[in-house]
Chains A and B, each alone.
Chain A
Amino acid sequence: MVFIRRYGTLIGFVAILVFFSVMLPGTFPTARNWLNITQQTSMLMVVAAGMTIVMVMGDFDLSVGSAASLAGIVAALMMAAGQPIWAAVAVALVVGLLGGAFNGAMVSLVGILPFIATLATMTMFSGIAFVVSGGKTISGRAIPEDFGNFARAGIPLGEWGGVAINLPNLSIIAIVVILAVWILLEQTTFGRRLYAIGGNMEAAHLSGIAVKRLRLIAFSLTGLAAAAGGLMYASRVASANPVQGSGLMLNAIAAVFLGTTMSRHGEPRILATVVGVIVLGVLDNGLTQMSVDSYIRQVLVGALILVAVGAGSIGQKRR
C-alpha cells in the first residue's frame, strides 16, 4: 500500500508520457518538443521551487503571483526610464526579496496565519503594481530589445531535422534555481530545520531551532523566487502588465501538491515538485497538440490533481 501511495503519481506520470508518445509519435517525444516544455514551464518551475521552501514548513504563500507581476512591472518601468537592464533586474529581485520578508514578518513575528497574511499581501502587491504602472501594459519600444531577446536565446545544441536546437536561457535559469533549492533543502542544516518545523513546529522550537528567524528567511526566499519568475515572464513576453503573473500562484501550489503525493510522509520535496510542474506542462503541451478544447483541458488538469492527491490520501487512511 505504501508503494502505491508513493509511486502512484509517478506511474500516472509515466502513463501520461507513454500515452502522448503513442498518440503523437512524430512530435511529442522529440528533443525539440521537450526543450519547448522545459522553456514553457521554466517560470512556473522557479516560482514552484520557491513555494516548496515555505510549504516544507507547512506554510503557504498566496502572494507569489502578485509578487511576480510587481517584479516585472518594476523592472519594465526602470528600463523604460532608461536604466540599464542589470540594475532593473537587481532592483526587481530586491523588491521580491523585501516583499517576501514582509510576508515572513507578518507570519512569524506578528503571528498571522500564512493563508491570511499572504492573501492580504497578494492584494497589496497587486495594488502597488497597478499604482506604479497606472494599470498599463509596458511594452514595445519601452522595453530594451536585449531584455526580450534573452528569453528567445539559448545555448546551441546542434540540429534536429534541419532545425537548430537550443537549450533555452529560461530553462537554464530554472535548472540553476532547482539545483540551488535542492542543495538548500536537502543538503544543509537550514533545510533539515525547515523540515523539522514542518513536522512539528512546537517540538522544533523546544529543541532550540530559531523558528521565527527561519520562517522569515524562508518567506524571503519564496518572494525572491517569485520575483525571478516574474522577470522571466516579462522577458518572455517582452512586456509587463500588473496582472501577468497571477496565474502562477495556483499552478505553483498545484505542482507542489502533486509532488507531495510522491514523498514518504506527504511532505514537499523539490524534485517531486519538479515532476509536478512537468506533469502540468506536459498536459498543456500534449493536449494542445491533440487539439483538445482549452476549457476541457482545465477540467482534466483539475481532475488529475484530484485523482493523484485523492489516491494518496486514501492510501494513507488505509494504512
Chain B
Amino acid sequence: MSLNKSILAIAGILLATTVLGTGAAFAQSKVAIVTPYMAQPGTQFYVEAFQAVADENDWEVNVIDTAGDVAAVISRMEDLVVQNVDAIVINVDPTQVTAGLQAAKDAGIPVFGMDAGADPLLVTNVTSNGYAMAAETSTYVADRIKGEGNVVMFVFEAFPPVQVRGVVADAVFGNYPDIKVLDRVTPDVADGGIADSRAKMEAILAANPEPGSIKAVWAAWDQPALGALQAIEDAGRSGEGIVITGIDANPQAREAIAAGGNFEASVAQDFSGIGAATADAVARVLAGEEILQSVTYVPTKLITKANATE
C-alpha cells in the first residue's frame, strides 16, 4: 500500500465521521445520555422513551454506551463537559462517577439520573417509588386474605432499595389486628435468591403443617416469591390457597402469575415512563425552571393474571 493510499483510507474514515457527526448540528439543545448498561432490556426502554420526548423538543441527543465500562462513563462525561453540552443524563450508580459529576457541576452543566440513585450532584433522579410498590402488593395480600391469617415475609435489609419495601409491608400488615407475621426471612442471595428462599419456605411449611396455617407469602422481590412457589407446589400444598406476591414483575414471575397458581401478583416498573419523565425534567431545567425534588417518582403498575402477559 502506498503512502497515498493509506492516507486516503484514513481520510475516508475521518470524512465518514464528519458526515455522521454533523447530521444534527443545527438542532437547538445538545443532550447526552451516558450508560454502561445499554445491553440491559430496561435501559433500552428508558432511552427510546427519552428520545421520543427529545424529538418533540428538537434536541440533539447523543447516546453513549460504554459497554459495561464505568470509568469510561467518567471519561465521556469529561468530554461532554469540554464540548459544553446543555445537559447530561446518566444511568449508573452516581457514587461511582463522582469525578464526572464534579466536572459537570464545575462547568454548570446539569446532570440527571435515569434510575441511577440519589446523589447531591444530580439535579434529580427519576425512578420508581419502592415504598409505593410495596404498598401495592402488601395491600393486595391483606385484601385477598380478608385481613386475617398468618403471613410469611421475605425481606432484605442490606440493600436499601429493597429494605424500604419491607418497611411499608410491616406497616400495612401491622395495621390489621388479625394478620400475624409468622416469619420475617432474609434469604441468602448468593445464588440468585430462589434456591435458598425455597429451602427456607420448605422449613416453614414443615413447621406449619395444618392447612390454612399460612395464608400468604409477601416477598420484597420476585426471586423469593418464586422460591416459595416451588416449595409450596413440591409440598403438595398449592391447593390451600396460599397467596404469593413479589415485586419487579420479571419475566419468570409474569409467567408464574399468568399460569394462575399461588403466585398472584407483582409490581412492574414503568421503564418507558422513567425515560419520558427524565426527558421532561431535562426540558424543565433547560426552560429555566428549578427542580426541587432530589428524586422524581414514576408510578408503577400492579401485575396480576389479568395483565401479566401484556
**Interface of chain A, helix or strand or loop or mixed?**
helix
With A8-B6, A314-B1 as known contacts, state yes or no: A296 contacts B20, CB within 8 Å: yes
Q: How would residues 72 to 86 of chain B score, 1 for a CB under 8 Å from any chain A CB and 0 otherwise?
A: 101110111011100
A238 at the interface (CB under 8 A from B): yes
B175 at the interface (CB under 8 A from A): no
Is the CB–CB distance between B3 and A139 below 8 Å?
Answer: no
A61 at the interface (CB under 8 A from B): no
Select the stretch in A108-116, A118-126, A265-273, A286-294 that faces chain B.
A286-294
A83 at the interface (CB under 8 A from B): no
Residues of chain B within 8 A (CB-CB) of A291 are 21, 24, 30, 32, 60, 62
With A289-B79, A292-B21 as known contacts, state yes or no: A304 contacts B71, CB within 8 Å: no
A82 at the interface (CB under 8 A from B): no
A277 to B24, CA, bound (A): 30
A97 to B239, CA, bound (A): 60
Candidates A11, A137, A290, A315; contact of B17 at CB < 8 Å: A290
User: Which residues between 85 and 102 of chain B lie within 8 Å of chain A, taking CB atoms?
Assistant: 93, 95-99, 102
Looking across the interface, which residue of chain A has its beta carbon closest to that of B92? A237
Is the CB–CB distance between B14 and A15 below 8 Å?
Answer: yes
Is the CB–CB distance between A19 and B14 below 8 Å?
Answer: yes
Is the CB–CB distance between B82 and A11 below 8 Å?
Answer: no
Give the shortest distance, in Å, between A207 (CB) and chain B (any CB): 37
Give the shortest distance, in Å, between B258 (CB) and chain A (any CB): 30
Candidates A30, A292, A307, A314; contact of B82 at CB < 8 Å: A30
Q: How would residues 287 to 313 of chain A score, 1 for a CB under 8 Å from any chain B CB and 0 otherwise?
A: 111111111100010011001101100
**9 contacting pairs across A/B (C-beta < 8 A):** A11-B3, A16-B14, A36-B75, A36-B78, A151-B99, A152-B102, A163-B107, A290-B17, A310-B1
User: Which residues between 1 and 26 of chain B lie within 8 Å of chain A, taking CB atoms?
Assistant: 1-3, 5-7, 9-11, 13-14, 16-18, 20-22, 24
Interface size on A, residues (CB 8 A): 56
Residues of chain B within 8 A (CB-CB) of A139 are 93, 95-96
Chain A residues within 8 Å of B, Cβ to Cβ: 4, 8, 11-12, 15-16, 19, 23-24, 27, 30, 32-33, 36, 39-40, 43, 134-135, 137, 139-140, 148, 151-152, 163, 233, 236-239, 243-244, 246-247, 284-285, 287-296, 300, 303-304, 307-308, 310-311, 314-315
Is the CB–CB distance between A32 and B75 below 8 Å?
Answer: no
Candidates B3, B16, B22; contact of A4 at CB < 8 Å: B3
Is the CB–CB distance between A289 and B83 below 8 Å?
Answer: yes
Q: 9 new A-B pairs (CB below 8 Å) besides A137-B93, A137-B96, A163-B107?
A: A8-B7, A16-B14, A139-B93, A148-B98, A244-B69, A290-B22, A291-B30, A292-B17, A311-B5
Is the CB–CB distance between B2 and A238 below 8 Å?
Answer: no
Give the shortest distance, in Å, between B55 (CB) and chain A (any CB): 15
Residues of chain A within 8 A (CB-CB) of B10 are 12, 15-16, 304, 307
Residues of chain B within 8 A (CB-CB) of A311 are 1, 5-6, 9
Residues of chain B within 8 A (CB-CB) of A4 are 1-3, 6
A289 to B30, CA, bound (A): 11
Residues of chain B within 8 A (CB-CB) of A307 are 6, 9-10, 13
A285 to B11, CA, bound (A): 18
Is the CB–CB distance between B99 and A152 below 8 Å?
Answer: yes
Residues of chain A within 8 A (CB-CB) of B3 are 4, 8, 11
Is the CB–CB distance between A12 and B6 below 8 Å?
Answer: yes
Residues of chain A within 8 A (CB-CB) of B66 are 294
With A236-B74, A244-B69 as known contacts, state yes or no: A285 contacts B1, CB within 8 Å: no
Give the shortest distance, in Å, between B152 (CB) and chain A (any CB): 26
With A27-B82, A239-B70, A304-B13 as known contacts, state yes or no: A290 contacts B21, CB within 8 Å: yes
B203 at the interface (CB under 8 A from A): no
B170 at the interface (CB under 8 A from A): no
B53 at the interface (CB under 8 A from A): no
Residues of chain A within 8 A (CB-CB) of B306 are none
Give the shortest distance, in Å, between A287 (CB) and chain B (any CB): 6
Is the CB–CB distance between B75 and A284 below 8 Å?
Answer: yes
**Most chain B beta-carbon neighbours within 10 Å: one of A12, A32, A292:** A292
Give the shortest distance, in Å, between B290 (CB) and chain A (any CB): 24
Residues of chain B within 8 A (CB-CB) of A243 are 68
**Most chain A beta-carbon neighbours within 10 Å: one of B7, B69, B71, B78:** B71
Looking across the interface, which residue of chain B has its beta carbon closest to that of A43? B71
Residues of chain A within 8 A (CB-CB) of B190 are 134-135
**Most chain A beta-carbon neighbours within 10 Å: one of B6, B7, B17:** B6
Residues of chain B within 8 A (CB-CB) of A303 are 13
Looking across the interface, which residue of chain A has its beta carbon closest to that of B99? A152
Q: How would residues 16 to 49 of chain B score, 1 for a CB under 8 Å from any chain A CB and 0 otherwise?
A: 1110111010000010100000000000000000
B64 at the interface (CB under 8 A from A): yes
Residues of chain A within 8 A (CB-CB) of B30 are 291
A190 to B72, CA, bound (A): 35
CB-based closest 10 A-B pairs: A290-B21, A40-B75, A311-B6, A288-B79, A291-B62, A289-B83, A237-B96, A314-B1, A4-B3, A237-B70
A304 to B6, CA, bound (A): 10
A140 to B160, CA, bound (A): 12
With A40-B78, A236-B71, A247-B68 as known contacts, state yes or no: A293 contacts B97, CB within 8 Å: no
